[in-house]
Amino acid sequence: MNSGDHGSPGDRLARAGGVFEDDALIDQLNRALWSMWSRLERLPRSDVFWSHTNHRTTWCKVEDFARRCVDRNPSDETARWALVGLSMHAGSFGGLQLFAEDAAARDEAVHDLIAVAEWVWLEVGVDPGTCLEQALLRVGPPALRLLTQSVGRAAIAASGFLAGKSFAEAIGRRQWDLFVHALVVPTPEQRASSVVSEALLVAGEQRLAAARECLNYDASAVVDLLDAAQWWAANRGTDVMCRLRELLEVVSRDSLERLVGDQGDEVSAPLRTALLVLDGHGLPLRREL
């Protein structure tokens, strides 16, 4: 395959370390992306689609082709999922409306909708805001109430967002949001070498105090802290290891070791990573799909 100069979304969509998005979702998106690439490759160059082009497959053309496929056949799942994946790769929430349209026929569409919103939010750092609100209003509050039985926490999160909660609060990531800001509070050395206003210093100390308090009593807060540190490293190229180790020391090694044995796999694995970080190791890279 020749992906041209546009990069390969199918190589770049990786787990963001979210509450709702998971490996299965990312795998399905990547399969759809490459399947649409293959479908376009096989499309005869005599087809009108190739008019006034260089007849080479690129991701921009894959997106145009997927839109044409959905326009002709709204039930073309591969094309729909590919469009969602391409919008995610572009850092946009454009795929949410496709899932909203799908919700009447497929209960899991609401879960996927929230998961995709979370992925873009984590990767790009942009709140889904009105894009998510419009998609959920299309599903409809009455439908969301009914879906709380089959979809569970995703429908509950969606309803909470429509009721006025922030996206982070609605999906249970309020602590992650706190840690994202706490990890970049200037250290004393950084403060000495730059001009920082008194108001920013006070706000930074408040964030650190709140972060330490969360870590004192909640094992899941450690998971959010590690996710936040990975977000800074992967998406902003920012080294926050010094502050990360400082915050992890609040929990203590003994507490972390006890928690590893008490938690399920989803929590114990990040807790083991926290122990490695305290030993001086770096954060592991997320699995690329």
Highest-scoring range by mean pLDDT, 129-143, 213-227, 271-285: 129-143
pLDDT at 9: 56
Residue 20 has pLDDT above 90, yes or no: no
Could you tell me which of 159, 222, 218, 171 has the C-alpha nearest to residue 20?
A: 171
Q: How far apart are CA 97 and CA 117, in angstroms?
A: 11
Supply 181's token pair: 């800001």
- DSSP annotation of 49 reads G
User: pLDDT tens digit string along 153-211?
Assistant: 999 999 999 999 999 889 988 788 889 889 988 877 766 666 667 777 778 888 899 99
Q: How far apart are CA 233 and CA 237, in angstroms?
A: 5
Quick count: other Cβ atoms within 10 Å of Cβ 247?
24
Contact 98, 80 (CB under 8 A): yes
Supply 53's token pair: 């082009």
pLDDT at 170: 92
User: pLDDT tens digit string along 238-249?
Assistant: 889 989 999 998
Would you say the C-alpha torsion 125, 158, 95, 20 has a positive or negative sign? positive
Supply 277's token pair: 């970080």
